[in-house]
Amino acid sequence: MKELDIRNLDHGRETWTAYYGDRFVIKRPLPTFNEDQQKAWLEKQHKTKEVIDAIRAVNHTVYNVPEMTFINDDEYQILEERAPGEKLTRDVFVKLSTRQQHEIVNSIGTFLVDMNELKPAYEEKDHKITSEFKFDSLMLFVNTRMEKWFKKNEILQMRRFCEQIDSFTYDTYRAWSHGDLNSGNVYYDYKTSTLSFIDFAEADYHMIYADIFAPLQTDLHIEKRVYEKYMEYHQQKLWRMMNLRNPKMQELMKYRAEAVLMKRFLKASQDLRSNPQSEKARRNTVEKVAFMREQMAAILALEQKYAKK
């Protein structure tokens, strides 16, 4: 196993990638962690391994879940298989053939069903999407700070978006889910046309539609196609799911996608500086504001798209 420049490797919020080999990667807790944090990290790895082992035991051939080979408790390190290929971004997806894109949609739909059906779902309950993220912080920014960088009509528009999504409720289930499906956690291998799912640290009971309409599907613009596959494979006797033609489902799809964009808008807002001192800080502020305007434009496009239906 060869050692690489660790500055060029992917590191997580809690995990330090130490070594890469041709097939395996070694990970450790961040060097800044104290003993209690290291123990908590180790406990999370054992939980993650249980999830990985369970979904691998399904042994479905249309997707891959790299194995967590072992956990060394004494040295606080894990050995994992590497996911072959590259991250499944929008740029990667649009360059693929129609057949390859279809295979990806099928793989995601199958994986979602397999994860959800590993364990029983919780009873149906009324739910608000805005309860899943720091919506109060978003509204605080819109009402008190947004005027520093945005025009009045933009503030009014964003406030309207927020009020609409906050008023939306729907009946749903808490089901066993991956919990963090984004392009950084899904890899596509051109050689084998295989999709690999990684990073199960957030796997738990989540609101079922959160994974079905996750950031990954939103970015690839395949939400509807994935849900069609999900409905094809899901055992309806286990729990009821809404039909795509249901007007409530149309609203749900719209607001799920908007929530992804709002979270990104909020995250960017937290990096804004009212009086940036350096040229780098000023440039960063300009870039963040431009990015936030892109999210608003995407939300408006969604509003217009679903208004036509």
Mean pLDDT by 10 residues, the chain (309 residues): 43 76 91 94 96 96 96 95 96 97 98 96 92 97 97 98 97 95 96 95 95 96 96 92 93 97 97 90 95 98 88
Distance of alpha carbon 83 from alpha carbon 198, whole angstroms: 7
Q: Give the residue range(s) of CATH 3.90.1200.10 domains in the chain.
A: 86-307
Q: What pLDDT score was predicted for residue 10? A: 55
Which residues neighbour 142 within 8 Å (Cβ) at sequence distance 6 or greater?
A: 155, 158, 159, 162
At the fourth CATH level, which superfamily is domain 86-307?
Aminoglycoside phosphotransferase (APH), C-terminal lobe (3.90.1200.10)
Q: Which two tokens stand for residue 294?
A: 């892109």
For Cα atoms 204, 207, 209, give the angle at the middle one, nearest 5 degrees: 120
Q: What pLDDT score was predicted for residue 7? A: 44
- pTM flag (> 0.75): yes
Q: Which two tokens stand for residue 42?
A: 């180790």
Q: What pLDDT score was predicted for residue 5? A: 43
Q: So what's the architecture of 6-81 in CATH?
A: 2-Layer Sandwich (3.30)
SS3 label, residue 173: coil
SS3 label, residue 17: strand
The answer to whether 172 and 209 have CB atoms below 8 angstroms apart is: yes
SS3 label, residue 150: coil
Distance of alpha carbon 91 from alpha carbon 219, whole angstroms: 10
SS3 label, residue 143: helix
Q: Give the residue range(s) of CATH 3.30.200.20 domains in the chain.
A: 6-81
